[in-house]
Chains A and B, each alone.
Chain A
Amino acid sequence: MSCCAVHERALQDEVLKVTGLTVYRERQLAIENVSFSLLKGTDTAIVGPNGAGKSTLIQALLGILPRQTGEIQVLGQPVSKQGKLDTRVREQIAYLPQSFLFDRLLPMTVQELVGLGWDRLGWQLPWQSHNARQRAIREALSRVDAWHLRHQSLSGLSGGETKRVLLAYCLVRPRKLLILDEAPAGLDVRSEGAFYQLLKELKQENGWAILQISHDIDMVRQSCDRVICLNQTIHCQGTPQVTLTAENLSLTYGSDFVPYRHSCRDKQGKG
Protein backbone atom coordinates (compact mmCIF):
# COMPACT_ATOMS: atom_id res chain seq x y z
CA MET A 1 0.00 0.00 0.00
CA SER A 2 1.38 3.41 -0.98
CA CYS A 3 2.05 6.18 1.53
CA CYS A 4 -0.90 8.24 0.13
CA ALA A 5 -3.26 5.26 0.37
CA VAL A 6 -2.29 4.70 4.02
CA HIS A 7 -2.88 8.40 4.75
CA GLU A 8 -6.30 8.33 3.01
CA ARG A 9 -7.29 5.19 4.95
CA ALA A 10 -6.30 6.89 8.21
CA LEU A 11 -8.44 9.91 7.31
CA GLN A 12 -11.42 7.67 6.54
CA ASP A 13 -11.01 5.95 9.89
CA GLU A 14 -10.59 9.21 11.79
CA VAL A 15 -13.61 9.61 14.04
CA LEU A 16 -12.41 12.60 16.08
CA LYS A 17 -9.70 15.14 15.39
CA VAL A 18 -8.75 17.85 17.88
CA THR A 19 -6.20 20.53 16.97
CA GLY A 20 -4.77 23.21 19.26
CA LEU A 21 -7.73 23.22 21.66
CA THR A 22 -7.66 25.83 24.44
CA VAL A 23 -10.52 26.22 26.93
CA TYR A 24 -11.01 28.67 29.79
CA ARG A 25 -13.37 27.79 32.63
CA GLU A 26 -14.65 30.63 34.86
CA ARG A 27 -11.93 32.84 33.25
CA GLN A 28 -9.22 30.37 34.33
CA LEU A 29 -7.14 28.48 31.78
CA ALA A 30 -8.33 24.85 31.98
CA ILE A 31 -6.65 23.20 28.98
CA GLU A 32 -4.16 24.58 26.51
CA ASN A 33 -3.15 23.64 22.98
CA VAL A 34 -4.51 20.07 23.10
CA SER A 35 -4.23 18.04 19.88
CA PHE A 36 -5.03 14.38 19.27
CA SER A 37 -7.14 12.15 17.08
CA LEU A 38 -9.21 8.98 17.53
CA LEU A 39 -9.50 6.21 14.98
CA LYS A 40 -12.40 3.85 14.37
CA GLY A 41 -12.32 0.68 16.50
CA THR A 42 -9.85 2.03 19.08
CA ASP A 43 -10.09 2.71 22.80
CA THR A 44 -8.23 5.79 24.07
CA ALA A 45 -7.89 6.72 27.75
CA ILE A 46 -7.24 10.17 29.16
CA VAL A 47 -5.29 10.05 32.43
CA GLY A 48 -4.18 12.84 34.70
CA PRO A 49 -4.56 14.21 38.24
CA ASN A 50 -7.70 15.84 39.62
CA GLY A 51 -8.19 19.31 38.15
CA ALA A 52 -6.05 18.45 35.10
CA GLY A 53 -8.85 19.43 32.71
CA LYS A 54 -9.98 15.94 31.66
CA SER A 55 -13.73 16.56 32.11
CA THR A 56 -13.31 20.07 30.67
CA LEU A 57 -11.77 18.53 27.54
CA ILE A 58 -14.72 16.17 27.13
CA GLN A 59 -17.27 18.91 27.77
CA ALA A 60 -15.59 21.12 25.17
CA LEU A 61 -15.64 18.24 22.64
CA LEU A 62 -19.38 17.83 23.21
CA GLY A 63 -20.13 21.55 23.06
CA ILE A 64 -21.22 21.72 26.70
CA LEU A 65 -18.41 24.24 27.29
CA PRO A 66 -17.36 26.83 24.69
CA ARG A 67 -13.75 26.82 23.50
CA GLN A 68 -11.49 29.81 22.96
CA THR A 69 -9.20 28.49 20.22
CA GLY A 70 -8.62 25.29 18.29
CA GLU A 71 -10.53 23.05 15.91
CA ILE A 72 -12.66 19.98 16.58
CA GLN A 73 -13.89 17.66 13.85
CA VAL A 74 -16.20 14.68 14.37
CA LEU A 75 -16.44 12.31 11.39
CA GLY A 76 -14.97 15.07 9.23
CA GLN A 77 -17.59 17.64 10.28
CA PRO A 78 -16.48 20.73 12.25
CA VAL A 79 -17.86 21.52 15.70
CA SER A 80 -18.51 25.28 15.88
CA LYS A 81 -17.06 27.38 18.71
CA GLN A 82 -20.57 27.50 20.24
CA GLY A 83 -20.69 23.68 20.15
CA LYS A 84 -22.99 23.29 17.11
CA LEU A 85 -22.55 20.14 15.05
CA ASP A 86 -24.48 18.61 12.16
CA THR A 87 -27.44 16.71 13.69
CA ARG A 88 -26.72 13.47 11.80
CA VAL A 89 -23.12 13.50 13.06
CA ARG A 90 -24.26 14.39 16.59
CA GLU A 91 -26.42 11.26 16.61
CA GLN A 92 -23.26 9.18 16.16
CA ILE A 93 -21.93 10.27 19.57
CA ALA A 94 -22.89 8.72 22.91
CA TYR A 95 -21.83 10.31 26.18
CA LEU A 96 -21.82 8.90 29.69
CA PRO A 97 -21.20 11.70 32.26
CA GLN A 98 -19.06 11.36 35.38
CA SER A 99 -21.85 12.24 37.75
CA PHE A 100 -25.41 11.69 36.68
CA LEU A 101 -27.25 14.31 38.70
CA PHE A 102 -31.01 14.33 38.56
CA ASP A 103 -33.92 15.18 40.81
CA ARG A 104 -34.69 12.03 42.83
CA LEU A 105 -38.40 12.93 42.73
CA LEU A 106 -38.49 12.91 38.94
CA PRO A 107 -41.05 10.37 37.70
CA MET A 108 -39.06 8.48 35.07
CA THR A 109 -38.65 4.76 34.50
CA VAL A 110 -35.57 2.96 33.24
CA GLN A 111 -37.41 2.19 30.00
CA GLU A 112 -38.20 5.87 29.45
CA LEU A 113 -34.57 6.92 29.98
CA VAL A 114 -33.15 4.31 27.60
CA GLY A 115 -35.80 5.28 25.04
CA LEU A 116 -34.49 8.86 25.13
CA GLY A 117 -31.16 7.51 23.84
CA TRP A 118 -32.97 6.05 20.83
CA ASP A 119 -35.07 9.13 20.02
CA ARG A 120 -34.00 11.66 17.46
CA LEU A 121 -34.60 14.83 19.44
CA GLY A 122 -36.52 17.61 17.78
CA TRP A 123 -40.07 18.05 16.53
CA GLN A 124 -41.68 14.61 16.32
CA LEU A 125 -44.74 12.71 17.45
CA PRO A 126 -43.92 10.76 20.65
CA TRP A 127 -45.54 7.57 19.36
CA GLN A 128 -43.54 7.59 16.10
CA SER A 129 -41.73 4.25 15.35
CA HIS A 130 -43.03 2.74 18.61
CA ASN A 131 -42.27 -0.92 17.80
CA ALA A 132 -38.72 -0.32 16.56
CA ARG A 133 -38.10 1.83 19.64
CA GLN A 134 -39.34 -0.87 22.02
CA ARG A 135 -37.18 -3.52 20.28
CA ALA A 136 -34.08 -1.31 20.56
CA ILE A 137 -34.78 -0.64 24.28
CA ARG A 138 -35.12 -4.36 24.94
CA GLU A 139 -31.88 -5.21 23.14
CA ALA A 140 -29.90 -2.44 24.87
CA LEU A 141 -31.17 -3.32 28.35
CA SER A 142 -30.57 -7.03 27.77
CA ARG A 143 -27.02 -6.30 26.64
CA VAL A 144 -26.20 -4.67 30.00
CA ASP A 145 -28.19 -7.30 31.90
CA ALA A 146 -30.81 -4.79 33.08
CA TRP A 147 -33.99 -5.80 31.22
CA HIS A 148 -35.55 -6.79 34.54
CA LEU A 149 -35.18 -3.18 35.74
CA ARG A 150 -37.20 -1.70 32.84
CA HIS A 151 -40.25 -0.66 34.90
CA GLN A 152 -38.22 0.55 37.87
CA SER A 153 -38.02 4.23 38.73
CA LEU A 154 -34.58 5.85 38.24
CA SER A 155 -34.57 7.00 41.85
CA GLY A 156 -34.81 3.38 43.02
CA LEU A 157 -31.62 2.23 41.27
CA SER A 158 -28.31 1.59 43.01
CA GLY A 159 -25.16 3.36 41.73
CA GLY A 160 -24.04 0.30 39.75
CA GLU A 161 -27.50 -0.25 38.25
CA THR A 162 -27.66 3.41 37.24
CA LYS A 163 -24.33 3.06 35.38
CA ARG A 164 -25.59 -0.02 33.52
CA VAL A 165 -28.83 1.70 32.58
CA LEU A 166 -26.92 4.78 31.36
CA LEU A 167 -24.73 2.50 29.27
CA ALA A 168 -27.91 1.04 27.74
CA TYR A 169 -28.97 4.66 26.97
CA CYS A 170 -25.70 4.98 24.99
CA LEU A 171 -26.02 1.57 23.27
CA VAL A 172 -29.66 1.79 22.24
CA ARG A 173 -28.75 3.22 18.83
CA PRO A 174 -25.65 2.36 16.75
CA ARG A 175 -22.96 5.02 17.22
CA LYS A 176 -19.43 5.73 16.04
CA LEU A 177 -18.03 7.49 19.12
CA LEU A 178 -18.54 6.67 22.79
CA ILE A 179 -17.29 9.19 25.35
CA LEU A 180 -17.10 8.02 28.97
CA ASP A 181 -16.22 10.21 31.93
CA GLU A 182 -15.00 7.80 34.65
CA ALA A 183 -17.82 5.48 33.71
CA PRO A 184 -16.97 2.34 35.75
CA ALA A 185 -16.81 4.25 39.06
CA GLY A 186 -19.40 2.69 41.38
CA LEU A 187 -19.48 -0.70 39.67
CA ASP A 188 -18.63 -3.86 41.62
CA VAL A 189 -15.82 -6.14 40.41
CA ARG A 190 -18.15 -8.43 38.44
CA SER A 191 -20.00 -5.53 36.77
CA GLU A 192 -16.70 -3.79 36.03
CA GLY A 193 -15.44 -6.90 34.23
CA ALA A 194 -18.67 -7.12 32.20
CA PHE A 195 -18.43 -3.38 31.46
CA TYR A 196 -14.93 -3.65 29.99
CA GLN A 197 -15.90 -6.78 28.04
CA LEU A 198 -18.81 -4.82 26.53
CA LEU A 199 -16.50 -1.95 25.56
CA LYS A 200 -14.20 -4.48 23.89
CA GLU A 201 -17.12 -5.89 21.87
CA LEU A 202 -18.30 -2.41 20.83
CA LYS A 203 -14.79 -1.57 19.69
CA GLN A 204 -13.91 -4.83 17.92
CA GLU A 205 -17.28 -5.97 16.56
CA ASN A 206 -19.06 -2.64 15.98
CA GLY A 207 -16.02 -0.48 15.24
CA TRP A 208 -16.89 2.18 17.85
CA ALA A 209 -14.15 4.62 18.81
CA ILE A 210 -14.04 4.99 22.59
CA LEU A 211 -12.66 7.93 24.54
CA GLN A 212 -12.66 7.46 28.30
CA ILE A 213 -11.34 9.28 31.31
CA SER A 214 -9.81 6.88 33.78
CA HIS A 215 -7.88 6.84 37.03
CA ASP A 216 -7.18 3.11 36.76
CA ILE A 217 -3.69 2.96 35.23
CA ASP A 218 -3.67 -0.87 35.32
CA MET A 219 -6.91 -1.03 33.34
CA VAL A 220 -5.53 1.45 30.82
CA ARG A 221 -2.40 -0.70 30.39
CA GLN A 222 -4.49 -3.84 29.84
CA SER A 223 -7.47 -2.63 27.81
CA CYS A 224 -6.72 0.58 25.94
CA ASP A 225 -5.03 1.03 22.60
CA ARG A 226 -3.84 4.56 23.30
CA VAL A 227 -3.41 6.84 26.28
CA ILE A 228 -3.25 10.63 26.60
CA CYS A 229 -1.50 12.01 29.69
CA LEU A 230 -3.13 15.36 30.39
CA ASN A 231 -2.39 18.01 32.95
CA GLN A 232 -3.70 21.26 31.47
CA THR A 233 -1.80 20.34 28.32
CA ILE A 234 -0.86 16.96 26.83
CA HIS A 235 2.44 15.78 28.33
CA CYS A 236 2.62 12.60 26.27
CA GLN A 237 0.43 10.28 24.21
CA GLY A 238 0.82 6.93 22.51
CA THR A 239 0.36 3.24 23.27
CA PRO A 240 0.09 2.53 27.02
CA GLN A 241 3.13 0.23 26.96
CA VAL A 242 5.37 2.98 25.61
CA THR A 243 3.69 6.01 27.21
CA LEU A 244 2.94 4.95 30.81
CA THR A 245 6.49 5.03 32.07
CA ALA A 246 7.32 6.15 35.60
CA GLU A 247 8.99 9.22 34.16
CA ASN A 248 5.95 10.25 32.08
CA LEU A 249 3.55 9.58 34.95
CA SER A 250 5.66 11.71 37.29
CA LEU A 251 5.67 14.44 34.66
CA THR A 252 1.86 14.29 34.44
CA TYR A 253 0.91 13.74 38.07
CA GLY A 254 3.84 15.52 39.75
CA SER A 255 7.26 14.36 40.81
CA ASP A 256 6.05 12.54 43.94
CA PHE A 257 3.69 10.27 41.97
CA VAL A 258 3.83 6.60 43.03
CA PRO A 259 2.01 4.31 40.57
CA TYR A 260 -0.62 2.31 42.44
CA ARG A 261 -1.12 -1.31 41.40
CA HIS A 262 -4.02 -3.53 42.40
CA SER A 263 -2.44 -6.22 44.59
CA CYS A 264 -5.03 -8.86 43.62
CA ARG A 265 -4.38 -8.24 39.92
CA ASP A 266 -0.61 -8.52 40.52
CA LYS A 267 -1.12 -11.82 42.31
CA GLN A 268 -3.33 -13.11 39.49
CA GLY A 269 -0.64 -12.08 36.99
CA LYS A 270 2.05 -13.89 38.96
CA GLY A 271 -0.12 -16.95 39.57
Chain B
Amino acid sequence: MTFDAELTRVIELFQFPFMQRALLGGLLIGLMGGLLGSLTVLRQLAFFSNALGHSALLGLSLGILLGINPSWTLLPFAVLFALAVIYLFEHTKLWTDALLNMMHSSFLAIAIILLTQVEDYKGGINNLLFGDILAIQPSDLILSGVLLVIATVFITLTLRTQMLVTLNESMAIARGVDVAAQRHAFIILLALVVGVAIKAIGVMLVSAFIVIPACAARLLSGNFTLHILYSTGLGALSAVLGIVLSAFFDLPSGPTIVVTQLAIFLGAVGVSKLAANVA
Protein backbone atom coordinates (compact mmCIF):
# COMPACT_ATOMS: atom_id res chain seq x y z
CA MET B 1 0.00 0.00 0.00
CA THR B 2 1.35 3.46 -0.90
CA PHE B 3 2.01 6.15 1.71
CA ASP B 4 -0.89 8.29 0.39
CA ALA B 5 -3.31 5.38 0.64
CA GLU B 6 -2.07 4.60 4.14
CA LEU B 7 -2.48 8.25 5.16
CA THR B 8 -6.03 8.30 3.79
CA ARG B 9 -6.80 5.15 5.78
CA VAL B 10 -5.48 6.73 9.01
CA ILE B 11 -7.43 9.98 8.36
CA GLU B 12 -10.59 7.94 7.78
CA LEU B 13 -9.88 5.97 10.94
CA PHE B 14 -9.86 9.18 12.96
CA GLN B 15 -13.39 9.95 11.68
CA PHE B 16 -14.67 7.21 13.99
CA PRO B 17 -15.80 8.46 17.42
CA PHE B 18 -13.83 5.72 19.27
CA MET B 19 -10.58 6.95 17.64
CA GLN B 20 -11.41 10.57 18.47
CA ARG B 21 -12.09 9.56 22.07
CA ALA B 22 -8.79 7.63 22.15
CA LEU B 23 -6.91 10.69 20.84
CA LEU B 24 -8.53 13.05 23.34
CA GLY B 25 -8.12 10.54 26.17
CA GLY B 26 -4.44 10.05 25.28
CA LEU B 27 -3.94 13.81 25.23
CA LEU B 28 -5.55 14.28 28.66
CA ILE B 29 -3.66 11.38 30.23
CA GLY B 30 -0.40 12.53 28.60
CA LEU B 31 -0.88 16.04 30.02
CA MET B 32 -1.73 14.71 33.50
CA GLY B 33 1.13 12.20 33.49
CA GLY B 34 3.66 14.82 32.41
CA LEU B 35 2.41 17.41 34.91
CA LEU B 36 2.36 15.13 37.94
CA GLY B 37 5.37 13.19 36.67
CA SER B 38 7.65 16.23 36.87
CA LEU B 39 7.21 16.55 40.64
CA THR B 40 7.08 12.76 41.09
CA VAL B 41 10.50 12.29 39.54
CA LEU B 42 12.04 15.27 41.36
CA ARG B 43 10.76 13.92 44.69
CA GLN B 44 12.11 10.46 43.87
CA LEU B 45 8.62 8.92 43.88
CA ALA B 46 9.01 7.23 40.49
CA PHE B 47 8.95 3.80 42.08
CA PHE B 48 5.75 4.73 43.92
CA SER B 49 3.93 5.23 40.60
CA ASN B 50 5.26 1.87 39.37
CA ALA B 51 4.23 0.07 42.58
CA LEU B 52 0.81 1.70 42.53
CA GLY B 53 0.34 0.70 38.89
CA HIS B 54 1.08 -2.95 39.64
CA SER B 55 -0.91 -2.98 42.87
CA ALA B 56 -3.91 -1.50 41.07
CA LEU B 57 -4.49 -4.92 39.51
CA LEU B 58 -5.95 -5.83 42.91
CA GLY B 59 -8.38 -2.90 42.68
CA LEU B 60 -9.48 -4.08 39.25
CA SER B 61 -9.73 -7.72 40.38
CA LEU B 62 -11.99 -6.77 43.29
CA GLY B 63 -14.40 -5.09 40.88
CA ILE B 64 -14.42 -8.14 38.60
CA LEU B 65 -14.92 -10.51 41.53
CA LEU B 66 -17.79 -8.43 42.88
CA GLY B 67 -19.34 -8.28 39.43
CA ILE B 68 -19.23 -4.47 39.18
CA ASN B 69 -17.44 -2.12 36.78
CA PRO B 70 -13.72 -2.35 37.77
CA SER B 71 -13.40 1.43 37.34
CA TRP B 72 -15.62 1.87 40.42
CA THR B 73 -13.24 -0.13 42.61
CA LEU B 74 -10.00 1.08 41.00
CA LEU B 75 -10.01 4.72 42.12
CA PRO B 76 -10.95 4.07 45.78
CA PHE B 77 -8.30 1.32 45.82
CA ALA B 78 -5.65 3.70 44.42
CA VAL B 79 -6.42 6.27 47.14
CA LEU B 80 -6.39 3.58 49.87
CA PHE B 81 -3.05 2.30 48.54
CA ALA B 82 -1.62 5.84 48.71
CA LEU B 83 -2.87 6.29 52.29
CA ALA B 84 -1.44 2.89 53.30
CA VAL B 85 1.95 3.82 51.81
CA ILE B 86 1.91 7.18 53.63
CA TYR B 87 1.03 5.40 56.90
CA LEU B 88 3.87 2.90 56.52
CA PHE B 89 6.36 5.63 55.52
CA GLU B 90 5.52 7.62 58.61
CA HIS B 91 5.13 4.80 61.15
CA THR B 92 7.92 2.37 60.29
CA LYS B 93 11.63 2.95 60.03
CA LEU B 94 12.00 0.97 56.83
CA TRP B 95 13.38 1.97 53.43
CA THR B 96 10.90 3.46 50.98
CA ASP B 97 11.81 1.23 48.05
CA ALA B 98 11.72 -1.89 50.23
CA LEU B 99 8.25 -1.00 51.56
CA LEU B 100 6.91 -0.30 48.08
CA ASN B 101 8.41 -3.51 46.74
CA MET B 102 6.80 -5.50 49.53
CA MET B 103 3.39 -3.90 48.96
CA HIS B 104 3.26 -4.22 45.20
CA SER B 105 4.48 -7.84 45.18
CA SER B 106 1.91 -8.81 47.82
CA PHE B 107 -0.98 -6.98 46.15
CA LEU B 108 -0.06 -8.43 42.77
CA ALA B 109 -0.05 -11.93 44.26
CA ILE B 110 -3.49 -11.41 45.86
CA ALA B 111 -4.85 -9.98 42.59
CA ILE B 112 -3.68 -13.00 40.59
CA ILE B 113 -5.23 -15.41 43.13
CA LEU B 114 -8.52 -13.48 42.92
CA LEU B 115 -8.48 -13.46 39.11
CA THR B 116 -8.04 -17.22 38.97
CA GLN B 117 -11.35 -17.49 40.86
CA VAL B 118 -13.23 -15.60 38.14
CA GLU B 119 -14.12 -17.99 35.33
CA ASP B 120 -15.30 -15.38 32.82
CA TYR B 121 -12.35 -13.04 33.03
CA LYS B 122 -9.34 -15.32 32.50
CA GLY B 123 -9.06 -14.42 28.82
CA GLY B 124 -9.22 -10.66 29.36
CA ILE B 125 -6.14 -10.29 31.54
CA ASN B 126 -4.23 -8.65 28.67
CA ASN B 127 -6.62 -5.71 28.79
CA LEU B 128 -5.87 -5.25 32.49
CA LEU B 129 -2.12 -5.54 31.99
CA PHE B 130 -1.75 -3.35 28.90
CA GLY B 131 -5.00 -1.35 28.82
CA ASP B 132 -7.17 -0.46 25.86
CA ILE B 133 -7.12 3.19 24.92
CA LEU B 134 -9.60 2.52 22.07
CA ALA B 135 -12.20 1.48 24.64
CA ILE B 136 -12.23 4.91 26.34
CA GLN B 137 -15.81 6.06 27.03
CA PRO B 138 -17.15 9.64 27.27
CA SER B 139 -17.44 9.21 31.07
CA ASP B 140 -13.67 8.41 31.20
CA LEU B 141 -12.95 11.59 29.25
CA ILE B 142 -15.01 13.67 31.68
CA LEU B 143 -13.22 12.10 34.66
CA SER B 144 -9.79 12.71 33.06
CA GLY B 145 -10.73 16.30 32.19
CA VAL B 146 -11.92 17.06 35.74
CA LEU B 147 -8.78 15.51 37.23
CA LEU B 148 -6.52 17.47 34.86
CA VAL B 149 -8.20 20.73 35.88
CA ILE B 150 -7.80 19.87 39.60
CA ALA B 151 -4.13 18.90 39.14
CA THR B 152 -3.37 22.03 37.10
CA VAL B 153 -5.06 24.39 39.58
CA PHE B 154 -3.37 22.69 42.56
CA ILE B 155 0.15 22.77 41.08
CA THR B 156 -0.19 26.28 39.63
CA LEU B 157 -1.51 27.89 42.81
CA THR B 158 0.93 26.09 45.12
CA LEU B 159 3.91 26.10 42.75
CA ARG B 160 6.22 28.07 45.07
CA THR B 161 5.31 25.83 48.01
CA GLN B 162 5.88 22.69 45.90
CA MET B 163 9.29 24.04 44.87
CA LEU B 164 10.42 24.69 48.45
CA VAL B 165 9.09 21.33 49.71
CA THR B 166 10.92 19.56 46.87
CA LEU B 167 14.13 21.51 47.58
CA ASN B 168 14.39 21.13 51.36
CA GLU B 169 11.61 20.10 53.74
CA SER B 170 13.20 21.71 56.83
CA MET B 171 13.33 25.10 55.11
CA ALA B 172 9.68 24.69 54.11
CA ILE B 173 8.62 23.82 57.68
CA ALA B 174 10.58 26.85 58.97
CA ARG B 175 8.45 28.97 56.61
CA GLY B 176 5.25 27.54 58.10
CA VAL B 177 4.45 25.06 55.31
CA ASP B 178 2.49 22.00 56.47
CA VAL B 179 4.83 19.62 54.65
CA ALA B 180 2.94 16.48 55.68
CA ALA B 181 -0.35 17.87 54.30
CA GLN B 182 1.37 18.86 51.05
CA ARG B 183 2.94 15.42 50.72
CA HIS B 184 -0.38 13.67 51.35
CA ALA B 185 -2.28 15.87 48.89
CA PHE B 186 0.30 15.25 46.17
CA ILE B 187 0.43 11.47 46.68
CA ILE B 188 -3.38 11.18 46.64
CA LEU B 189 -3.54 13.27 43.45
CA LEU B 190 -0.86 11.07 41.88
CA ALA B 191 -2.78 7.93 42.91
CA LEU B 192 -5.94 9.26 41.23
CA VAL B 193 -4.05 10.12 38.03
CA VAL B 194 -2.46 6.66 37.90
CA GLY B 195 -5.89 5.10 38.60
CA VAL B 196 -7.55 7.02 35.75
CA ALA B 197 -4.70 6.26 33.33
CA ILE B 198 -4.71 2.51 34.03
CA LYS B 199 -7.86 1.84 32.02
CA ALA B 200 -6.18 3.24 28.91
CA ILE B 201 -2.61 2.07 29.39
CA GLY B 202 -2.85 -0.87 31.75
CA VAL B 203 -1.10 -1.66 35.00
CA MET B 204 2.22 -2.65 33.40
CA LEU B 205 2.89 0.51 31.42
CA VAL B 206 1.17 3.25 33.41
CA SER B 207 4.29 4.39 35.27
CA ALA B 208 6.00 5.14 31.92
CA PHE B 209 3.49 8.01 31.44
CA ILE B 210 4.64 9.47 34.77
CA VAL B 211 8.39 8.88 34.51
CA ILE B 212 9.62 9.05 30.89
CA PRO B 213 8.38 12.55 29.83
CA ALA B 214 9.64 13.97 33.15
CA CYS B 215 13.11 12.43 32.65
CA ALA B 216 13.28 13.77 29.07
CA ALA B 217 12.21 17.22 30.32
CA ARG B 218 14.93 17.16 33.01
CA LEU B 219 17.56 16.71 30.31
CA LEU B 220 16.22 19.75 28.46
CA SER B 221 15.78 22.15 31.38
CA GLY B 222 17.82 23.37 34.35
CA ASN B 223 14.92 25.46 35.62
CA PHE B 224 12.13 24.12 37.87
CA THR B 225 9.17 25.87 36.22
CA LEU B 226 10.35 25.05 32.70
CA HIS B 227 10.86 21.44 33.74
CA ILE B 228 7.18 21.17 34.68
CA LEU B 229 6.08 22.82 31.42
CA TYR B 230 8.38 20.67 29.24
CA SER B 231 7.32 17.49 31.03
CA THR B 232 3.62 18.30 30.54
CA GLY B 233 4.19 19.19 26.87
CA LEU B 234 6.26 16.08 26.15
CA GLY B 235 3.66 13.89 27.91
CA ALA B 236 0.93 15.25 25.61
CA LEU B 237 3.10 15.14 22.47
CA SER B 238 4.18 11.53 22.99
CA ALA B 239 0.59 10.39 23.67
CA VAL B 240 -0.85 12.02 20.53
CA LEU B 241 2.09 10.97 18.36
CA GLY B 242 1.95 7.44 19.76
CA ILE B 243 -1.77 7.04 18.96
CA VAL B 244 -1.28 8.36 15.41
CA LEU B 245 1.70 6.03 14.86
CA SER B 246 -0.21 3.07 16.27
CA ALA B 247 -3.03 3.79 13.79
CA PHE B 248 -0.56 4.24 10.92
CA PHE B 249 1.39 1.04 11.56
CA ASP B 250 -1.54 -0.90 13.04
CA LEU B 251 0.23 -1.46 16.37
CA PRO B 252 -1.19 -1.72 19.92
CA SER B 253 -1.77 1.85 21.20
CA GLY B 254 -0.43 1.74 24.80
CA PRO B 255 2.93 0.12 23.97
CA THR B 256 3.35 2.38 20.90
CA ILE B 257 2.90 5.49 23.11
CA VAL B 258 5.53 4.20 25.54
CA VAL B 259 7.97 3.49 22.68
CA THR B 260 7.31 7.03 21.38
CA GLN B 261 8.09 8.37 24.87
CA LEU B 262 11.35 6.40 24.82
CA ALA B 263 12.23 7.84 21.39
CA ILE B 264 11.58 11.37 22.69
CA PHE B 265 13.73 10.62 25.74
CA LEU B 266 16.60 9.42 23.52
CA GLY B 267 16.16 12.58 21.42
CA ALA B 268 16.44 14.63 24.62
CA VAL B 269 19.67 12.78 25.52
CA GLY B 270 21.08 13.75 22.09
CA VAL B 271 19.94 17.39 22.37
CA SER B 272 21.38 17.76 25.88
CA LYS B 273 24.75 16.29 24.76
CA LEU B 274 24.78 18.62 21.77
CA ALA B 275 23.95 21.64 23.95
CA ALA B 276 26.73 20.67 26.41
CA ASN B 277 29.26 20.42 23.55
CA VAL B 278 28.19 23.81 22.10
CA ALA B 279 28.47 25.45 25.56
Which residues of chain A from 48 to 93 have a CB within 8 Å of any chain B CB?
A: 59, 62-64, 83-85, 87, 90, 93
Q: Is the CB of A93 within 8 A of B174?
A: yes
**Cross-chain contact A126 with B160 (CB below 8 angstroms):** yes
Chain B residues, Cβ within 8 Å of A84: 176
Q: Tell whether B88 is near chain A: CB-to-CB under 8 Å.
A: no
Asked if B168 lies at the interface with its beta carbon under 8 angstroms from chain A, I say yes
A260: chain B residues within 8 A (beta carbon): none
Contact A95 B225 (CB under 8 A): no
Q: How far is the CA of A106 from the CA of B44 in the complex (A)?
A: 10
Closest 3 CB pairs of A and B: A90-B176, A119-B160, A95-B174
In the bound assembly, the distance between CA atoms of A63 and B174 in angstroms comes to: 7
Q: Which residues of B contact A112 (CB under 8 A)?
A: 163, 223-225
Interchain CB contact under 8 A, A107 and B160: no
Chain A residue at smallest Cβ distance from B175: A121
Other-chain residue from A97, A105, A107, A126 in contact with B159 (beta carbon distance below 8 A):
A126
Closest to B178 in A: A84
Contacts of B226 in A (CB 8 A): 107
The reply to whether B44 and A107 contact each other, CB–CB distance below 8 Å, is no
B24 within 8 Å of A (CB atoms): no
Tell me, yes or no, whether B150 is within 8 Å of chain A by CB: no
Q: Interface residue tally of chain A, by bracket?
A: 20 to 34
Interface class of chain A by DSSP:
loop
Can you spell out 17 A-B residue pairs with CB atoms less than 8 angstroms apart? A63-B173, A63-B176, A83-B173, A90-B176, A102-B168, A103-B44, A106-B167, A107-B221, A107-B223, A108-B163, A108-B223, A108-B224, A113-B167, A116-B160, A119-B160, A121-B164, A124-B157
A116 touches B163 (CB 8 A): yes
Q: Smallest CB-CB separation from A86: which chain B residue?
A: B176
Nearest CB to that of B163 among chain A residues?
A116
Given A103-B44, A121-B176, check contact A97 B157 (CB 8 Å).
Answer: no
Are the C-beta atoms of B222 and A153 separated by less than 8 Å? yes
**Chain A residues whose CB sits within 8 angstroms of the CB of B44 once the complex forms:** 103
Most A CB contacts (10 A, CB to CB) among B163, B175, B218, B226 go to B175
CA distance A125 to B159 in the complex (A): 8
Write the nearest CB–CB distance from B153 to chain A, whole angstroms: 9
Decide yes or no whether A269 CB sits under 8 A from chain B: no
Q: Shortest Cβ distance from A271 into chain B, in angstroms?
A: 42
- Give the distance in Å from the alpha carbon of A85 to the alpha carbon of B174 in the complex: 10
Bound form: Cα–Cα A171–B157 in Å: 24
Residues of B within 8 A of A108 (CB): 163, 167, 223-224
Which residues of chain A are near B218, meaning CB under 8 Å? Answer: 105, 107
CB atoms of A106 and B174 under 8 A apart: no
Q: Are B224 and A107 in contact (CB under 8 A)?
A: yes
Q: Across the interface, name the chain B residue whose C-beta is closest to A122.
A: B161
B247 CB, min distance to chain A CBs, angstroms: 35
Q: Is the CB of B170 within 8 A of A121?
A: no
Q: A97-B168, A123-B158 are in contact. Are A62 and B224 (CB under 8 A)?
A: no
Among the listed B42, B171, B175, B222, which residue makes an inter-chain contact with A109, where contact means beta carbons less than 8 Å apart?
B222
A89 nearest in chain B by CB position: B176
Residues of B within 8 A of A97 (CB): 168, 170-171, 174
Within 8 A of A (CB), among B154-194: 156-161, 163-164, 166-168, 170-177
CB neighbours (8 Å) of A103 from chain B are: 42, 44
Let me know if B21 is at the binding interface, CB within 8 A.
Answer: no
Residue A5 CB within 8 A of the other chain: no
Besides the known contacts A106-B167, A116-B164, A126-B159, 20 further A-B residue pairs in the complex with CB atoms under 8 A apart: A59-B170, A63-B173, A63-B174, A84-B176, A93-B174, A103-B42, A103-B44, A105-B218, A112-B223, A112-B225, A116-B167, A121-B160, A121-B172, A121-B176, A121-B177, A123-B157, A126-B156, A126-B160, A126-B225, A153-B222
Query: Which residue of B42, B174, B227 contacts A62 across the interface (Cβ within 8 Å)?
Result: B174
Complex contact A107–B222 (CB within 8 A): yes
In the complex, chain B residues whose CB is within 8 Å of the CB of A59: 170
